[in-house]
Amino acid sequence: MKRRFPRPKELAPLMRMSMPDRDRVRARLERALTIDDLRTIARRRTPRAAFDYTDGGAEAEISMARARQAFVDIEFRPAILRDVSQVDASCEVLGGASQLPFGIAPTGFTRMMQTEGEYAGARCAQRAGIPFTLSTMGTASVEDVATAAPGGRHWFQLYMWKDRDRSMALVERAAASGFDTLMVTVDVPVAGARLRDKRNGMSIPPALTPSTILNAIPRPWWWFDFLTTEPLAFASLDRWSGTVGELLNSMFDPTVTYEDLKWVAAQWPGRVVVKGVQTLADARACAEAGVDGIVLSNHGGRQLDRAPVPFHLLPQVVGELGDDLTIMLDTGIRSGADIVAAIALGADFTLIGRAYLYGLMAGGERGVDRAITILRDEILRTMQLLGVKTLSELGPEHVIQLTRWREVPRP
């Protein structure tokens, strides 16, 4: 090839210099193209104890890793030559509309991750047209969440306490505030062994110790926000000084049975969902108890380590109970493609927890918006590449679950 020096007029179109964005939050969020990118930003900006509380699981974190790997180990089967110029990812769940096939899961101590906490989640969910679930262990009251997002759709997650009267008083407040669905979480009879929290000396509220101060030095913005806004308060309890595990074990009732579930459901005027179902037998029992839906979940891998993988359980439960219950799924979801795979295998809806919190830690309310936008774009693109225009067109023929683990036959 004959070589020559480029002419200035040939270089001009290649020069794309732009002024730095003075809005640093917007600049860093625009660089995040995936939920994992948001996680990287969140880890950089959040003290280790708060980040690890979100990011970690129980014991050796095997359940958490397996749940994530289950979504990695799928193969999509696309259909070609379909008109996918217009794609609709909206659906109906539990008697109401959702613009996307996922909602925000209940998460505890959310304002500890970033001070906008549940307020940011509720407002972003309202803008996106998806449900927001407030946790019993949330750091905003049911009344304040309803006020922050008056046009949003709100669900309330209930842990049954030893003090039943106090539990039901909270349920009554949620109903009075317009929450339309009660999500009863049943997989926390006692706290799981969350070893990251123990090693970090995680407490509520975060304590100023030599190690936390040292860890805070490169993250002054987090501490500035934490120390100059209202102290952490909870949706359902007075302030607590101690570890998360001690709090859970002091409050939660390990004697709860299906009879208690029926008793709670009889007092709630809206839909009732059971979260934490991990076997087909318990899914059947929930249907017999008359609830409206279940969430296949192992609590994000934060309770029993080596628990069943919800995504693996999904086809079996859908095959037997798909006509009787609304079947939802959480744990391990990190992309819009994961959500599409779950819907294809029969889930009616999904919930995101860590994915939303990574956005919150990365950029507050704008970070949550970014997380939802990333997932929305991935869902729509995956649907187009699979050759489907609506969620109802998705089916098992679009997804294969590749086998990494096999159950050993019993003698």
Q: Could you list the active site residues?
A: 299
Q: Of how many residues is the chain composed?
A: 411
Q: How many CB atoms lie within 10 A of CB 82?
A: 13
Cα→Cα distances 184→163, 280, 314, 366, Å: 16, 18, 19, 30
Distance (Å, whole) CA 261 – CA 306? 26
Q: Do 361 and 45 form a contact (C-beta atoms < 8 A)?
A: yes
Distance (Å, whole) CA 346 – CA 326? 10
- 274: tokens are 């059971």
Q: Do 88 and 390 form a contact (C-beta atoms < 8 A)?
A: yes
- Strands 154-158 and 181-185 turn out to be parallel
Q: Do 147 and 394 form a contact (C-beta atoms < 8 A)?
A: no
Q: Do 328 and 64 form a contact (C-beta atoms < 8 A)?
A: no
Tokens 């995504």 correspond to what residue?
311
Work out the end-to-end distance of the chain between its first and last CA atoms, rounded to an integer number of angstroms: 72
